[in-house]
Amino acid sequence: MVATKILTNAQILMGGYNLSADFNQIALTETVDMLDATTFGQTTRIYKGGLSRIRMTGAGLVQEGSGLVGTVLYAEVGVEDEVVSIWPDTITEGVFTGGGFAFKAVTARYTPLAGGVGELLRFTVEAESRGVV
């Protein structure tokens, strides 16, 4: 029997800050570049797996101020080799529960203004891997 995982207390650490309380969506996608290895005489494309990459996308509610998500993510855009660590459940120092991901990344996009009149101010963020931690 396979257990279903429900995200209720994900931990999101970026650039030395715990931003978990400001996120309400998180996604990790691992992809591999597909390299065309087709040669003369083939009747179909032949592909080989190339370099891998991890992409993190997330969203949440904006809070501005020192050490808060709005200020931290704004400063992270374009910064290389920041460690991103994401766990589906809370983490406790010295205890390994498995299932977490950590990688060095560059924050590619931060959208600090999203929403409509009368709504809470939302943000979106995207980061791409630069190597494995």
Tens of pLDDT along 89-98?
A: 777 666 666 6
Domain boundaries, the chain: 11-29+56-132
- Average per-residue pLDDT in the chain? 87
Q: How many CB atoms lie within 10 A of CB 18?
A: 13
User: Does pTM top 0.85 for this prediction?
Assistant: no
- Averaged in consecutive runs of 10 residues, what is the pLDDT profile of the chain (133 residues)? 74 90 92 95 96 93 89 91 85 68 90 89 93 59
Residue from 79, 91, 61, 89 nearest 15 by CA: 79
Q: Name residue 47's amino acid.
A: Y
Q: Are 87 and 11 in contact (CB under 8 A)?
A: yes
pLDDT for res 98: 62
State the SS3 of 22-53: HEEEEEEEEEEEEEECCCCCCCCCCEEEEEEE
